[in-house]
Amino acid sequence: MELTPLIAVHLSAAIAAVLLGPLALWARKGRTQRPVLHRAFGYAWTTLMLVTAITAIFIRDFNLPNVAGYTPIHLLIPVTLFGLFGAFWCLYRKNIVGHRLTMQSLYWSACVIAGGFTLLPNRYLGKLVWGQWLGWI
């Protein structure tokens, strides 16, 4: 597998989402709440997650255990899409607690945990980071 434009877009959106997510969550925490920042960061994060999920549909890996090129990490695509829909459905229903819990769990599952799996040494990004960039493998 090589760094194609599709993988570059996917990787860029995913890294930006990992970095932007805490800012969106932080803007609504504590005594000083920043609803304008929360919305701006939240919409940007949602857009980045949509780009990440949609591009992931077209990235397939036939080297790992797979079904038609889709590996177990691809199960996060519907989780992400349904999670985003559910979070905005909660907002529509004025269920702020549900929205908060959905977005927090989506950040942890789709950004942090999935990001951890992509850094495994046998994955493409893991080979780049640990092998080529850091030279540890």
Of 74, 69, 57, 56, the closest CA to residue 11 belongs to: 56
> Which pLDDT tens digits describe the chain residue by residue (137 residues)?
678 899 899 989 999 999 999 999 888 876 777 889 999 999 999 999 999 999 999 988 777 777 888 888 888 899 999 999 999 999 999 999 999 999 999 999 999 988 888 888 877 788 877 887 776 65
Are 77 and 109 spatial neighbours (Cβ–Cβ below 8 Å)?
A: no
Distance CA(77)–CA(116), nearest Å, equals 16
Residues 6+ apart with CB under 8 A from 4: none
Of 48, 59, 136, the closest CA to residue 84 belongs to: 48
Distance CA(22)–CA(28), nearest Å, equals 10
3-state secondary structure of 18: helix
Helix axes 96-106, 76-92, angle to 10 degrees: 160
Global pTM value: 0.86
